[in-house]
Amino acid sequence: MKILVIAATLEEIQPALPFLEEKHIKYLITGVGMVSTTYALTRYLQQHKIDLLLHIGIGGILDPSACLGGVYQIYADEIFALGADDNGSFISIEELGFGKRIYTEKPPVHIRLPEVSKAQGITVNNVHGTTESINWLQQRYQKPLIESMEGAAVFFVAEQEGIYCLQFRATSNYIEPRNRDAWKIGLAIQNLNDFIQTLISRCFI
């Protein structure tokens, strides 16, 4: 099985690079955001045959009681706020009849994955950082919810190309008004990279 590990930034995948290179597993740094991710991944897949996309990264979690640094399997991811504003009421892209917002993982068949917590994802262009917008999320989404800027884009491309796809994220911060002093980026990246090496070693080598 040909695997491609995908991350938005080099920092998110740096600790696992020696392992990936030793095992001859390809990786792709797409850049931050849905547009960069969609372009970089689609271009790569035009030139290489891949069976499984492993999308990894860090993200914010909506649950303020969750322990930061935890690794989650994102089973579904939503292109957040894709639709229209009708005088204060949101009309989804589905209701408009022009597409869909939510895309899901596609695990390889007959592969038993390590047990980790599962979460829904939202993919945003503008990370939430106001009390009002966060309260809106709390009212409309079940926990755990993890926010990123790329997840749904990878699921979208995988669906279009008919490729197996999994997404794992480690939580580096809470979805709250911006508070850099509370971020645990180093812990999240280390836990994520430890996990991805274990996942590949147990399931795909």
Domain boundaries, given as residue ranges, for the chain: 3-203
pTM exceeds 0.75: yes
Query: Looking at residue 35, what is its pLDDT?
Result: 98
Rg of the chain taking only CA atoms, in angstroms: 17
Query: Looking at residue 143, what is its pLDDT?
Result: 86
Which residue is it, tokens 């649950």?
Answer: 63
What does the pLDDT profile of the chain (205 residues) look like in tens digits?
999 999 999 999 999 999 999 999 999 999 999 999 999 999 999 999 999 999 999 999 999 999 999 999 999 999 999 999 999 899 999 999 999 999 999 999 989 999 999 999 999 999 999 999 999 999 999 889 999 999 999 999 999 999 999 999 999 999 999 999 999 999 999 999 999 999 999 999 8
Selection from 165, 201, 202 nearest residue 51 by Cα: 165
Query: Looking at residue 63, what is its pLDDT?
Result: 95
What architecture is domain 3-203? 3-Layer(aba) Sandwich (3.40)
Q: Is 121 helix (H, G, I), strand (E, B) or coil?
A: strand
E strands, the chain, where? Answer: 3-7, 26-29, 52-61, 71-79, 83-86, 89-92, 102-104, 117-123, 145-148, 164-174
